[in-house]
Amino acid sequence: MNRMPSRTAPAALYATALAIAAVATIGCGSVADVQPRLRAAVDAKKPALDGCYDVALGRNREAGGELAVVIALASSSGRVEAVSVGASTIDDKDFLECVTSALRSVRVDPAPPVDTNVSYSLRFHASEPRSAAPEATPGGLP
């Protein structure tokens, strides 16, 4: 039985590094070293990203899908200089602006050795409401 997402059910964000692809390396440092720190910084924004998605679900109960972004990190500060949406299966301009705004507040410490662009894919889908007790199934164990 398919259930429609509940507006009161918490939204779930699955931030998946499908294509964390740093585009530059230098001598003794590598932007690959930045990937785990960026992942942790994006994961720390999960509550804000979930909030963006909760509002989108309020507008459209079937909202969900994937969002590909490119995050530009500054070597001088470790701050995000820009976030651009590469592709999205979620057609909601306000949602996209909310997500990019949340990601623009990310900071990676220490900063990468060079200015770095990183591709990141995010998946958004609504969690199904959970009942207080598991459902009984016919023929189950006694």
pLDDT for residue 30: 60
Assigned token pair, 99: 């997500």
pLDDT band at 31 (very low <50, low <70, confident <90, very high): low
pLDDT band at 120 (very low <50, low <70, confident <90, very high): confident
Task: State yes or no: pLDDT of 17 exceeds 90.
Answer: no
pLDDT for residue 36: 87
At 111, phi and psi to the nearest 5? -65, 155
Q: What is the mean pLDDT of the chain?
A: 75
Task: State yes or no: pLDDT of 54 exceeds 50.
Answer: yes
Order of strands, sheet of 65-73, starting from the edge strand that comes earlier in the sequence: 11-16, 116-126, 65-73, 80-88
- List domains and CATH numbers for the chain: 11-126 (3.30.1150)
pLDDT tens across 62-96, in order? 999 999 999 999 999 999 999 999 999 999 999 99
Measure the CA–CA gap between 29 and 32, rounded to whole angstroms: 9
Higher per-residue confidence, 2 vs 98: 98
At 105, phi and psi to the nearest 5? -90, 5
